């Protein structure tokens, strides 16, 4: 049986190790951090995430969806907070059972690692940092407390996130490797709304809360202990930005002006703002994701996207499903399995990258407008009237496993038809009115 060296036991690394372990492959999974069960696994990343159909399907395939979803909190729609504190709820789908789910990153990471460790042929090594990969020999250099070691396999898979060391080795050693990284002008900072009395939620629990403020926004996702994790997405630089918040008074004034209904619920917002890191938001596109039958990239290492469609992890999990399908279809030809995986995923990852950036504008700006809410109602009315024929883009991305690129194309065609139809109806109505007046 082939031996795989996996670099990175984050969300996709743990899950992929479980998939490979189930196939009977020999797997060594190396992670630079300590065992997440010893605490501090998040390391500046989002504390909770939205998981939806694609991610849940990937967990189901390996039999851990029920365990992973045990403490997940369904979010049925967006709860929009305007500046006056007024609330508007906009459901995600016409079917109230369709929801996204807030799930803790740490617990989910532990669940996938433990799923991998069920297989005796999977070994997980923490505190091993990959510094370089040798492509031809499928071996990785790893820094450990005892010194540098070399891990050899038949193939190395880089599941080591947006700043992947495996990808960097490919970039250095593959002549025509294409690489593009682009940063948003916005960064993000996490803040907390603590639990209310008796571990209750001080806002609607089953919603994703959004404070859209045109060029920036804050969102909040519920946690099982009654708290909410808020994330402020804001420009790094500019007249009013992270850079201009010099004192606690600046921060207090900004929050009181922009999020007046949230401030009373966030007694520690000044400390959070001061102490929590400001993260950056990067989109990474590269090609190829594979080198012969020796090296492969999965998850953020291959295609980091900004978080505004809530799909980065879902897509990373979907990669694991597709790679597993390719191993199933080409069991004797890893070279083919890898290149087929790349072929099936690349255009979809690119489509998701575009959708995620577009959705930032929708969330921070359009959700605040009445036109947005009318458009959502029209979407839902069409979906109800034409079941299976008309599917809103958000529904296709979030509640189906339709390839991302196909969903984007289909939404484009649907929009053209709907807007032409509306234009035609309007033109006929005006024509009819004019005719009535003329006769
Ligand atoms: C603010 C924010 C909110 C988000 N919200 C959502 C959401 O709601 N829904 C969603 O689907 N996605 C969301 N995402 C995206 C999601 O976090 C990522 O897509 C997901 O974590 C990718 O999983 P991964 O396993 O590929 O990478 P990661 O989770 O980053 O894991 C990579 C692992 O590799 C390890 N590693 C890195 N370098 C090395 C090395 N040199 N040697 C050894 N180990 C290494 C890291 O320590 C880590 O454990 C969000 C992202 C951000 C930043």
The pLDDT of residue 350 is: 98
Q: Which residues of 397-421 are buried (b: 16+ CB within 10 A; e: fewer)?
A: bbbeebbbbebbeebeebeeeeeee
Q: Which helix (H) or strand (E) holds 101?
A: strand 100-104
| CA 262 – CA 267 distance, rounded (Å) | 10
Going residue by residue through the chain, which has 439 residues, state the pLDDT in tens, using 9 for 90 and above: 899 999 999 999 999 999 999 999 999 999 999 998 886 555 556 789 999 999 999 999 999 999 999 999 999 999 999 999 999 999 998 888 999 999 999 999 999 999 999 999 999 999 999 999 999 999 999 999 999 999 999 999 999 999 999 999 999 999 999 999 999 999 999 999 999 999 999 999 999 999 999 999 999 999 999 999 999 999 999 999 999 999 999 999 999 999 999 999 999 999 999 999 999 999 999 999 999 999 999 999 999 999 999 999 999 999 999 999 999 999 999 999 999 999 999 999 999 999 999 999 888 878 778 888 888 888 888 888 888 889 999 999 999 999 999 999 999 998 888 777 777 888 888 888 888 888 7
CB atoms within 10 A of CB 325: 16
The pLDDT of residue 40 is: 58
**Chain centroid offset of residue 300 CA:** 9
Number of the ligand 1 atom closest to the C-alpha atom of 50: 8
Length of the chain: 439
Token pair in block for residue 178? 């294409």
Residue 415 Cα to ligand 1 midpoint, Å, equals 33
Top mutation candidate among 307, 314, 318, 321 for ligand 1, by most atoms within 8 Å of CB: 307
The pLDDT of residue 301 is: 98
Can you list the alpha helix ranges (DSSP code H) found in 215-311? 248-258, 269-275, 300-303
Give ligand 1 pocket residues (Cβ under 6 A).
7-13, 30-33, 45-46, 49-50, 129-130, 159-161, 165, 188, 231, 279, 299-301, 307, 310-314, 316
Top mutation candidate among 313, 356, 399 for ligand 1, by most atoms within 8 Å of CB: 313
| CA 71 – CA 64 distance, rounded (Å) | 13
Across 162-301, the runs of DSSP E, i.e. the strands, are 178-193, 208-212, 217-222, 228-235, 279-287, 290-291, 295-297
The pLDDT of residue 41 is: 53
Residue 170 Cα to ligand 1 midpoint, Å, equals 20
The pLDDT of residue 389 is: 87
Residue 161 Cα to ligand 1 midpoint, Å, equals 5
Per the DSSP assignment, residues forming a β-bridge with 38 are none
């Amino acid at each position: 049986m082939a031996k795989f060296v996996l670099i990175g036991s984050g969300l996709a690394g743990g899950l992929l190790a479980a998939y490979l372990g189930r196939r009977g492959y020999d797997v060594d999974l190396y992670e630079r951090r300590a065992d997440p069960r010893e605490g501090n696994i998040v390391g500046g990343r989002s504390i909770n995430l939205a998981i939806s159909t694609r991610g849940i399907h990937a967990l189901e395939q390996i039999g851990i969806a029920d365990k992973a979803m045990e403490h997940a909190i369904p979010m049925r729609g967006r709860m929009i907070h305007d500046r006056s504190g007024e609330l508007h709820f906009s459901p995600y789908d016409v079917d109230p059972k369709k929801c996204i789910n807030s799930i803790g990153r740490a617990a989910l990471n532990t669940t996938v690692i433990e799923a991998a460790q069920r297989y005796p042929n999977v070994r997980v090594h923490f505190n091993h940092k990959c510094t370089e990969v040798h492509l031809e020999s499928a071996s990785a250099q790893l820094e450990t407390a005892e010194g540098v070691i070399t891990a050899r396999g038949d193939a190395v898979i880089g599941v080591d996130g947006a700043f992947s060391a495996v990808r960097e080795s490919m970039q250095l050693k593959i002549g025509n490797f294409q690489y593009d990284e682009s940063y948003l002008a916005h960064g993000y900072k996490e803040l907390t709304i603590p639990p209310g009395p008796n571990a209750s939620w001080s806002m609607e629990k089953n919603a994703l809360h959004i404070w859209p403020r045109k060029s920036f926004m804050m969102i909040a996702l519920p946690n099982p202990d009654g708290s909410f994790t808020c994330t402020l997405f804001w420009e790094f630089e500019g007249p009013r930005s992270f850079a201009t918040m010099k004192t606690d008074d600046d921060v207090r004034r900004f929050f009181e002006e922009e999020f007046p209904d949230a401030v009373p619920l966030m007694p520690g917002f000044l400390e959070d703002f001061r102490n929590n890191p400001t993260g950056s938001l990067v989109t990474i596109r590269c090609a190829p994701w594979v080198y012969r039958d020796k090296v492969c990239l999965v998850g953020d290492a291959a295609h980091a996207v900004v978080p505004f469609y809530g799909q980065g992890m879902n897509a990373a999990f979907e990669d694991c499903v597709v790679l597993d399908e390719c191993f199933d279809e080409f069991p004797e030809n890893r070279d083919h399995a890898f290149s087929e995986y790349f072929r099936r995923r690349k255009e979809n990852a690119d489509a998701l990258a575009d959708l995620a950036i577009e959705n930032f504008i929708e969330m921070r700006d359009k959700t605040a407008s009445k036109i947005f809410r009318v458009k959502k109602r029209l979407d839902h009315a069409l979906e109800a009237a034409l079941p299976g024929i008309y599917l809103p883009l958000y529904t296709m991305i979030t509640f189906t496993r339709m390839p991302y690129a196909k969903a984007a194309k289909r939404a484009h065609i649907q929009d053209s038809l709907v807007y032409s139809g509306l234009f035609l109806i309007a033109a006929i109505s005006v024509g009819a009115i004019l005719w009535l007046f003329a006769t």
